[in-house]
Amino acid sequence: MNIELSDEAEEYGRQARRALGSAGGDRLAQQAEADPHARGALVDPVFEALGAWELDPRAGSEELEAGAALCRSAGWWALAYPVAERLCRPRDLDVDGLVVIGPGPPAAPVGGLRMAWAAVSLDGWRAVCAASPLRGPVRKSGYVVGLEVGSFERGGQGDVALGLVLPCWTLLGMLDRAMSLTRAHIAAREQFGQPLAAFQGVQFQLTDAEVERLGFEALATHALWSIEAGRADAVDDALALRLAAIEAADTVFRVCHQLHGAIGFCDETTLSWVSRASVPLRRLPLNLAGTGAALTRRLGRRGLSGLFGPNDEPSPTLPALRPERR
């Protein structure tokens, strides 16, 4: 058993977080909002320096784990840039990135970048597509635009799990950040003569959010390994992760907003930016209900792989230490 990312991947993630921090940190999301079409140019030099686009997550565990760590760091800064989606780029198509699309009208948070995209459906049909122009203020659209999809072809089966899992790592980084901001806030903010953190009602909300975040992290690591190991049920694992991710995000952001109080809705708090940035990732390509339904369909009568398989119950006809009860 080895259930953590490699030290190299973790170190790469830390470097990426530092580099994005030096390049502006939280201001990057604000600058992108002010000028959405320049959002690529804002971060391109950092990603160049990090060699981000030379990473091929399909090339093996090292690069896959590094990619995940990079996504997590981008999430920490609520970076307005589809890092995960670009890392998922299929090497056999002439595109800049890949998004998974759900049963609804195809859409993704990839507006304003002038790039070519591949879209893959949950059952592995793939098409080249173009992003529609940004419509309305990005603070409300979250850079989500419709996709004009070309003709679908088979061949994307290997893209689905990766396309679901890496964006979850971005979301995980956002949850890391939201929890960190909230811990700092309740330690500093005093009401009734003491820090909010001294109130058990506050502590218990925080712990329940942390359990969600840790559980999400554990499944994120597992789903990554499932891709690494080329497991046949990597898509099941990815959907299970996505379900946990959305549940965790719902709880974590609800708690973080509640514990921040009204200030958490305001642009001068980082939480407001992180929370808004998380919304497209939680809704697309499948929201909570859609993810649950997709997972349920795939699991059928089988369940997820684990300690027990569907046919593991022993037949009771064997000699025993005491007779069966009637």
Partner 1 sequence: MDFEMGVEVEALRRELRDLVAHHVPSDYLGAFTDDPADLEMAQGFCRLLADRGLLCPAWPGEWGGRDASPWEQAAVREEMWAHHEPRGAQYMGVNWVGPTIMRHGTREQQGLHLPPIARGEVIWCQGFSEPNAGSDLASLQTMARRDGDGWRVSGQKIWTSYATMAQWCFLLARTSREERKQQGLTIFLLPMAAAGIDVRPIATMIGPHHLNEVFFDGVWVTDADVLGAVGDGWRVVQEVLSFERVGIARYARCERLLIWAPAALGAEWDDLPEDLHGRWARMVMHARRARLLAYRVVDLQSRGQVRPGDAAAYRIAVTRLDQESAQVLMDIIGFAALGEGEGLRFRRAVEDHWRYSISATVASGSIEMQRILLARALMAAS
Partner 2 sequence: MAVPDRDLAEFRSTVGDWCRANVPKDWRRAQAGAPEEQFVAFQKAWFQELRQVGWAVPHWPAEWGGGMSVAEQIVLYQELAANDAPRLVLAFVAIHHAASTLLVAGTDEQRRCHLPAILDGELWVQGFSEPDAGSDLASLRTTGRREGDVFVVNGQKLWSSGAAHADWCLLLVRTDPGAPKREGISYFLMDMRTPGIDVRPIRNANGESHFCEMFLDDVVIPVSGLVGPEHGGWRVAQETLSAERGMTMLELSERLGRAGFTWLLEACRVRGPSGDRLLDDPVVADRLAAFEIEVAGLRSLCRRVVERHEAGASAPAEASIAKLLYSELLQRVMDFATEVVGLEAHTQLTKPLSSGWESGAWMLDYIGSYEWTIPGGTSEIQRTIIGERGLGLPREPAAR
Binding site for partner 2 (CB under 8 A): 104-105, 107, 135-137, 139-142, 144, 190-194, 198-202, 250, 254, 257-258, 261-262, 265-268, 272, 275-276, 279-280, 283-284, 287-290, 293
CB neighbours (10 Å) of residue 44? 13
Binding-site partner at residue 299 among partner 2, partner 1, none, CB < 5 to 8 Å by type: partner 1
Closest to partner 1 by CB, 50 or 239: 239
The helix/strand/coil state of 146 is strand
- Phi then psi dihedrals of residue 35, to 5 deg: -140, 80
Q: Kindly state the number of chain residues that form the binding site for partner 1, as judged by CB under 8 A.
A: 63
CB 69 within 8 A of CB 13: yes
Closest to partner 2 by CB, 152 or 199: 199
Q: Binding of partner 1 at residue 2 (CB under 8 A)?
A: yes
Give the interface segment with partner 1, choosing from 35-43, 89-97, 134-142, 305-313 (CB under 8 A).
305-313
Q: Binding of partner 1 at residue 208 (CB under 8 A)?
A: yes
Binding-site partner at residue 311 among partner 2, partner 1, none, CB < 5 to 8 Å by type: partner 1
What is d(CA 130, CA 226) in angstroms, rounded to the nearest whole number? 30
Q: In the set 65, 85, 159, 176, which binds partner 1 (CB under 8 A)?
A: 65
Please state the closest distance from residue 302 (CB atom) to partner 1, in A.
8
CB 176 within 8 A of CB 217: no
The helix/strand/coil state of 286 is coil
Binding-site partner at residue 243 among partner 2, partner 1, none, CB < 5 to 8 Å by type: partner 1
CB 20 within 8 A of CB 28: yes
Closest to partner 2 by CB, 82 or 158: 82
Q: Binding of partner 1 at residue 295 (CB under 8 A)?
A: yes
Please state the closest distance from residue 6 (CB atom) to partner 2, in A.
36
Closest to partner 1 by CB, 85 or 217: 217
Q: How far is CA 157 from CA 100, 123, 137, in A?
A: 11, 7, 35
Please state the closest distance from residue 166 (CB atom) to partner 1, in A.
15
Q: Binding of partner 1 at residue 204 (CB under 8 A)?
A: yes
Please state the closest distance from residue 179 (CB atom) to partner 2, in A.
17
Please state the closest distance from residue 311 (CB atom) to partner 1, in A.
7
Run of H or E residues at 236: helix 234-260
Binding-site partner at residue 191 among partner 2, partner 1, none, CB < 5 to 8 Å by type: partner 2
Strands (E), 102-246: 107-108, 116-121, 126-131, 145-149, 190-191, 194-195
| CB neighbour list of residue 186: distance below 8 Å, 6 or more residues apart | 195, 196, 197, 202, 206, 259
| CB neighbour list of residue 315: distance below 8 Å, 6 or more residues apart | none
The helix/strand/coil state of 224 is helix
Closest to partner 2 by CB, 70 or 286: 286
What is d(CA 84, CA 116) in angstroms, rounded to the nearest whole number? 15
Q: Binding of partner 1 at residue 244 (CB under 8 A)?
A: yes
The helix/strand/coil state of 100 is strand
CB 150 within 8 A of CB 131: no
In the complex, the residues that contact partner 1 under the rule CB under 8 A are: 1-6, 61, 65, 180, 183-184, 187, 197, 200, 203-204, 206-208, 210-211, 214-215, 218-219, 221-222, 224-226, 228-229, 240, 243-244, 292-293, 295-296, 299-304, 306-314, 316, 318-325
